[in-house]
Amino acid sequence: MKIDPMPPLNSLVAFEAAARHLSFTVAAAELNVTQGAISRQVRLLEDYLGTPLFERTTRRIVLSSKGEQYYRDIHDVLTQLARATGAVRHWKGAQQVTVFTSTALASMWLLPRVAEFQRQNEEIELRIIANDQAKDFSRLDCDLAVFYSGQRPEGIHATPLFAEEVFPVCSPEYLAKHPGLAGPEQLCDCTWLWLEDPQSGWIGWAEWYRRTGHVPVEPRRRININSYAMLIQSAVAGQGIALAWANLVDRHLETGALVRPIDAALRTSGMFYLLEPEDRGAWRPSVRRFRAWLLEQVAGADS
């Protein structure tokens, strides 16, 4: 029997990803296409259905009422299709683990450690997706995810990994050129490395001053950088002082590449969480093995 009517499959996949993330940009990164390609596929599907699926504003997109219902229906169908395909390709799918996280945690915490897991588990294929635009954790399309959140995420199984401290760091060479730094007030004489468009929930300089009980000051000069990993590399290179997250710069501090010019630190109210979507493969041995290894890494860092 012919299945009819059937919309274009590429359009369904593009819409499902855009609806899950509520972002054409993140959907494009996940599917390895351009944002324009996602937009065109969604438009094609809307024309096919004869109704708008999104309500578009200048800064964000939201699902229309029909789009919300359509997303729920096709998400279940595509999930079942993926499971059926994975069952046929069990020899490969069972050994693949997809991990979604932020660019900062991927480059500065996960990737430096993951080589050990790969050596111990050569048969497991890791797929790490790094993106800073995740808004709805309950819609993550992955086996596991690690993200910072100011409060425990809802709609998904969340295991606390570690709390965070935020404090200024710089290179030893930079500190040697600024020997009079006794407290936060003296940092105004330094160059600040400023994170532009920070990930939601991350702490900037003004908030750090307020929450540590100090009057905010303005730096003599600042360098704006839109990547946390680049920000820390700039600090290592002696270009200024950056606000660092303890667990992301622990190895830089251990090796002496970075130092703390003052003692002041802010203990955040949020945490990094291990997130596990309920409709994915938590039962698979490969996922369980990576999860156990990840928790061992966190426990080892705390001991």
Task: Decide the pairing of beta strands 61-63 and 54-56.
Answer: antiparallel
- Find the mean pLDDT for residues 133-159: 82
Confidence tier at 153 by pLDDT (50, 70, 90): confident
Describe the crossing of helices 9-21 and 65-88 by its angle, rounded to 10 degrees.
Answer: 110
Distances in Å between the Cα of 148 and the Cα atoms of 21, 86, 199, 272 are 17, 30, 9, 4
Q: Does position 6 have pLDDT exceeding 90, yes or no?
A: no
Q: What is the pLDDT of residue 167?
A: 97
Nearest to 181 by CA among 264, 123, 104, 243: 264
Confidence tier at 180 by pLDDT (50, 70, 90): confident
- Find the mean pLDDT for residues 154-172: 92
User: Helices in the chain by DSSP H: which ranges?
Assistant: 9-21, 24-31, 35-49, 65-88, 90-93, 103-105, 111-120, 172-177, 205-211, 228-236, 250-255, 285-302
Same domain, residue pair 136 and 283: yes
Same domain, residue pair 190 and 241: yes
Beta bridge pairs of residue 145:
100, 275
Same domain, residue pair 237 and 296: no
Same domain, residue pair 199 and 263: yes
Is 244 contained in some domain?
yes
Describe the crossing of helices 24-31 and 35-49 by its angle, rounded to 10 degrees.
Answer: 110
Give CA–CA dist 134/106, Å, rounded: 14
Mean pLDDT computed over every residue of the chain? 87
Q: Of 88, 118, 147, which marks where a domain is finished?
A: 88
Q: Does position 292 have pLDDT exceeding 90, yes or no?
A: yes
Residue 197 belongs to domain with CATH number: 3.40.190.10
Q: What is the pLDDT of residue 302?
A: 64
Same domain, residue pair 73 and 99: no
Same domain, residue pair 236 and 168: yes
Is 4 contained in some domain?
no
Task: Decide the pairing of beta strands 191-195 and 221-225.
Answer: parallel
- Find the mean pLDDT for residues 111-122: 91
Which tops the pLDDT comparison, 84 or 111?
111
Q: Does position 107 have pLDDT exceeding 70, yes or no?
A: yes
- Find the mean pLDDT for residues 238-262: 96
Which token pair is 221?
């000069």
Phi/psi of residue 237, nearest 5 degrees: -80, 0
Give CA–CA dist 147/145, Å, rounded: 7
Q: Which of 8-12, 44-48, 240-244 has the lowest mean pLDDT?
A: 8-12
* 16-48 confidence digits (pLDDT tens): 999 988 889 888 888 888 999 999 999 999 999
Query: What's this model's pTM, rounded to 2 decimal places?
Result: 0.69
Give CA–CA dist 54/258, Å, rounded: 46
Q: Of 31, 55, 88, which marks where a domain is finished?
A: 88
Same domain, residue pair 206 and 62: no
Same domain, residue pair 232 and 257: yes
Same domain, residue pair 145 and 279: yes
Is 3 contained in some domain?
no
What total number of domains does the chain contain?
3
Confidence tier at 202 by pLDDT (50, 70, 90): confident
Same domain, residue pair 136 and 186: no
Supply the range of the domain harboring residue 45: 9-88
Q: Does position 162 have pLDDT exceeding 70, yes or no?
A: yes
Q: What is the pLDDT of residue 31?
A: 84
Q: Does position 50 have pLDDT exceeding 90, yes or no?
A: yes
Residue 59 belongs to domain with CATH number: 1.10.10.10
Is 1 contained in some domain?
no
Whether 150 and 37 have beta carbons less than 8 Å apart is answered as: no
What single DSSP character describes residue 259? Answer: B
Which tops the pLDDT comparison, 201 or 237?
237
Q: Does position 156 have pLDDT exceeding 90, yes or no?
A: no
Beta bridge pairs of residue 210:
none
Beta bridge pairs of residue 241:
192
Confidence tier at 57 by pLDDT (50, 70, 90): confident
Same domain, residue pair 213 and 259: yes
Phi/psi of residue 64, nearest 5 degrees: -75, 170
Same domain, residue pair 140 and 179: no
Whether 161 and 155 have beta carbons less than 8 Å apart is answered as: no
Which tops the pLDDT comparison, 60 or 105?
105
CA of residue 162 relative to chain centroid, distance: 15
- In the block, which residue shows the tokens 């009422």? 65
Give CA–CA dist 33/31, Å, rounded: 6
